[in-house]
C-alpha cells in the first residue's frame, strides 16, 4: 500500500495529496495537527515517510467531533518550533474565532484549509446515494472563501492552485512565523472517485504480490 501511495502523481485536487506533498518539507520539531473528518483519514493513508520522524502528529476528537480544532492546534503550537494544521472548511468555520488567540498571543501556525465546500466525509457514506436531501442535510455547502477570515484576524492568506505552490507556501510560512492561511479548493465527489481508485490500485498490487509469491 505504501508503495502504491508513494507512486501517486501529486495533484492538488486530491485532498490526501496534501500530506504527500508536505511530508518531506517539514523541518525537525514540527507539530502537525490534523482535523476531522477526512484529514485524519488522509493523514493515515498518505503521510508515509521515513524522513517525517521528528514530526509530532496531533488530533482532537472535540466534544462532538469537528469542534475546537484550531483552538487545540494553537495550544499544541506552544510545544513545537514549527506548526502546521490541516483541516476541512466546516471545522475551520466552526472554530474560526480561535484565530483571535493566535493574534493576541502572537502564535505561529501554517493552517491549510481543504475547502470542498461542505462535509467531505459524508460523500463516502451510504447517505450519498440519496441525492434528494443529501446536500441540505449532509453536504451543507456554504459557498464561503477564507480570504476574508484571514484578513479579519490579520493572517497572511494564499489561495493554493498547485502542489508546487503549496510546498513553497508551507516552507515560507514556517520560516516567517505568524499565522499563514493556505486555502485549497477541492470537490467532494471527484475526491471520492480518486480515493477509491487508489484503493483499487492497492488491492491490485497486493493480489499481484500474492500471486507472484
Ligand atoms: C460539533 C460537530 N458538529 C457536527 C458534526 C458532524 N460532522 C461530522 S464530520 C462533519 C463534516 C466535517 O467537514 P469538514 O470539516 O469540512 O471536513 P471534511 O469532512 O470535508 O474532511 C460534520 C458536520 C460533528 N462531528 N461535530
Give per-residue pLDDT as tens, 131-171.
Answer: 999 999 999 999 999 999 999 999 999 999 999 999 999 99
- Torsion angle of alpha carbons 152, 153, 158, 164, nearest 10°? -160
**What's 158's DSSP letter?**
E
pLDDT at position 52 is 59
Which of the four pLDDT bands, split at 50, 70 and 90, describes residue 185? very high
Return the higher-pLDDT residue of 99 and 65.
99
As a whole number of angstroms, the distance between CA 6 and CA 47 comes to 10
Q: Which helix (H) or strand (E) holds 86?
A: strand 82-88
Q: Name the closest-CA residue to atom 10, ligand 1.
A: 119
What integer best gives the mean pLDDT of the chain?
94
**Is the preceding peptide bond at 135 cis, omega within 30 degrees of 0?**
no
Indicate whether residue 39 lines ligand 1 (CB < 6 A): yes
Which of the four pLDDT bands, split at 50, 70 and 90, describes residue 62? confident
**What's 208's DSSP letter?**
H
Measured in Å, residue 76 CA sits from the centre of ligand 1 at 21
Measured in Å, residue 184 CA sits from the centre of ligand 1 at 17
Give per-residue pLDDT as tens, 30-57.
Answer: 999 999 999 999 999 999 876 657 899 9
As a whole number of angstroms, the distance between CA 35 and CA 15 comes to 13
Give per-residue pLDDT as tens, 81-112.
Answer: 999 999 999 999 999 999 999 999 999 999 99
Considering only the C-alpha atoms of the chain, give the largest distance between any 2 of them, rounded to a whole number of Å.
Answer: 60
Which of the four pLDDT bands, split at 50, 70 and 90, describes residue 65? confident
Q: Name the closest-CA residue to atom 11, ligand 1.
A: 119
pLDDT at position 143 is 97
Indicate whether residue 89 lines ligand 1 (CB < 6 A): yes
pLDDT at position 16 is 95
End-to-end CA distance of the chain: 16
Whether residue 213 is predicted with pLDDT greater than 70 in this model: the reply is: no
Which atom belonging to ligand 1 lies closest to the Cα atom of 89? 16
Whether residue 1 is predicted with pLDDT greater than 80 in this model: the reply is: no
Q: Name the closest-CA residue to atom 4, ligand 1.
A: 66
As a whole number of angstroms, the distance between CA 152 and CA 26 comes to 28
Measured in Å, residue 14 CA sits from the centre of ligand 1 at 19
Measured in Å, residue 118 CA sits from the centre of ligand 1 at 8
As a whole number of angstroms, the distance between CA 12 and CA 195 comes to 13
pLDDT at position 50 is 65
Measured in Å, residue 160 CA sits from the centre of ligand 1 at 22
Cell (9 digits) for 132: 434528494
CB under 8 A, 24+ apart: contacts of 3-6: 3/205, 4/198, 4/201, 4/202, 4/205, 5/45, 5/46, 5/48, 5/198, 5/202, 6/48
Amino acid at each position: 500500500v505504501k508503495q502504491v501511495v508513494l507512486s501517486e502523481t501529486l495533484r492538488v485536487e486530491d485532498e490526501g495529496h496534501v500530506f504527500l506533498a508536505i511530508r518531506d518539507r517539514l523541518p525537525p520539531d514540527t507539530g502537525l495537527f490534523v482535523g476531522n473528518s477526512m484529514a485524519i483519514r488522509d493523514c493515515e493513508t498518505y503521510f508515509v515517510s521515513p524522513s517525517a520522524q521528528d514530526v509530532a502528529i496531533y488530533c482532537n476528537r472535540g466534544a462532538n467531533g469537528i469542534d475546537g480544532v484550531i483552538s487545540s492546534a494553537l495550544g499544541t503550537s506552544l510545544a513545537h518550533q514549527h506548526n502546521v494544521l490541516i483541516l476541512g472548511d466546516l471545522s475551520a468555520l466552526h472554530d474560526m474565532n480561535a484565530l483571535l488567540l493566535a493574534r493576541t498571543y502572537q502564535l505561529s501556525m501554517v493552517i491549510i484549509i481543504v475547502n470542498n465546500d461542505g462535509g467531505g466525509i459524508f460523500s463516502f457514506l451510504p447517505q450519498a446515494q440519496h441525492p434528494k436531501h443529501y446536500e441540505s442535510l449532509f453536504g451543507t455547502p456554504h459557498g464561503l472563501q477564507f480570504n476574508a477570515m484571514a484578513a479579519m484576524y490579520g493572517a497572511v492568506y494564499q489561495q493554493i492552485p498547485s502542489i508546487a505552490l503549496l510546498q513553497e507556501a508551507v516552507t515560507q510560512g514556517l520560516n516567517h512565523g505568524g499565522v499563514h492561511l493556505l486555502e485549497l479548493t477541492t470537490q467532494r465527489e471527484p475526491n471520492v472517485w480518486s480515493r477509491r481508485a487508489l484503493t483499487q490500485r492497492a488491492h491490485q498490487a497486493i493480489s499481484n504480490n500474492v500471486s507472484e509469491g
